[in-house]
């Protein structure tokens, strides 16, 4: 498991969930990880990595703050001699604020867009030139199935993730000839801090079996399942993939709303 031996890697949102799982897997495969998060739980992630024998350093970073992003990129370059891979995973949902089309505030929209969309752009702006200096590498961004169509998240969140999908397409074209690949992952329902309220409610009310009921796989996903996709897209195994949004949602987005029957409920001739 040495796909990333000696590679300098930044993972944002690394304090929990998908970011933590990804930072740990990158380190397990030899990556030199800068784990960034606005929360000091990122220190716990680094402790886990080091306990596993990996190399990691934590930094507190607001994903939508240009100064913080520049500091994070500088830390990777100064600590590991350059930068090879970025996983721009940090994001917020905006849940807890009015989220309807007419009752949401300008401030709540601006904050979601600042973190979820401006954040990945800032990492591209400051990080991609450093990756180019190394002869190429990869940038992976966390988008969402909510960025594909309505129904999977609040309006501001959905718009921000649609922006991320377009950002990776645009960036791939701007980086022609640099050997820097840029892709996005579109997770479906994944058990993370962002979905904790829904998972806690389902378990408390005996409705856990309903989580993921709209997916063909009949379950929600785990952070590690998204992390493994991030590692694939960042690796040489994905050397001919760029400008794409890879959906990892248990099949949720494979169908428009419909009433489905289970095979065992289908009448037999």
Q: What is the DSSP letter of 38?
A: S
Q: What radius of gyration do the chain's Cα atoms show?
A: 19
Q: What tokens appear for 183 in the block?
A: 């892709």
Strand 85-88 to 8-12 pairing? parallel
**Does the annotation count 201 as an active-site position?**
no
CA distance 192 to 190: 6
Q: How far apart are CA 216 and CA 233, in angstroms?
A: 24
| DSSP 8-state assignment for residue 221 | B
Reduced to 3 states, what is the DSSP secondary structure of residue 39?
coil
Nearest CA to 68 among 140, 8, 13? 13
SS3 content of the chain, % helix, strand, coil (to 5): 45, 15, 40
Q: Please give the DSSP secondary-structure letter assigned to residue 103.
A: T
196 CB-near residues (< 8 Å, 6+ apart): none
- Angle CA 126–143–44, to nearest 5: 70
Pairing of β 137-142 and β 85-88: parallel
**Could you tell me where the DSSP H helices lie in the chain?**
17-28, 42-51, 66-80, 106-113, 119-133, 155-174, 196-204, 223-234
Among residues 87, 157, 199, 201, the one annotated as catalytic is: 157
**Active site residue ranges:** 157
């Amino acid at each position: 498991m040495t796909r990333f031996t000696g590679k300098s890697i930044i993972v944002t949102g690394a304090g929990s969930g998908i970011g933590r799982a990804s930072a740990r897997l990158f380190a397990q495969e030899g990556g030199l990880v800068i784990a960034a998060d606005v929360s000091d739980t990122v220190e716990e992630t680094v402790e886990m990595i080091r306990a596993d024998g990996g190399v990691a350093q934590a930094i507190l970073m607001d994903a939508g703050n240009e100064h913080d992003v520049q500091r994070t990129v500088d830390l990777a370059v100064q600590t590991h001699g350059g930068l090879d891979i970025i996983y721009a995973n940090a994001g917020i949902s905006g849940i807890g604020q009015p989220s309807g089309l007419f009752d949401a505030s300008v401030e709540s929209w601006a904050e979601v867009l600042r973190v979820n969309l401006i954040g990945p752009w800032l990492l591209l702006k400051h990080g991609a030139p450093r990756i180019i200096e190394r002869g190429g590498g990869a940038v992976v961004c966390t988008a969402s199935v909510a960025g594909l169509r309505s129904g999977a998240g609040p309006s501001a969140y959905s718009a921000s993730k649609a922006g991320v999908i377009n950002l990776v397409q645009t960036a791939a074209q701007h980086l022609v000839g640099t050997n820097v690949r840029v892709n996005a992952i579109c997770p479906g329902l994944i058990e993370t801090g962002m979905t904790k309220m829904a998972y806690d409610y389902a378990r408390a009310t005996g409705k856990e079996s309903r989580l993921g009921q709209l997916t063909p796989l009949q379950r929600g996903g785990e952070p590690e399942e998204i992390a493994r996709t991030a590692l694939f897209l960042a690796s040489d195994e994905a050397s001919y993939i760029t400008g794409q949004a890879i959906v990892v949602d248990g099949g949720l987005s494979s169908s428009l709303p419909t009433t489905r029957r289970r095979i065992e409920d289908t009448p037999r001739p």
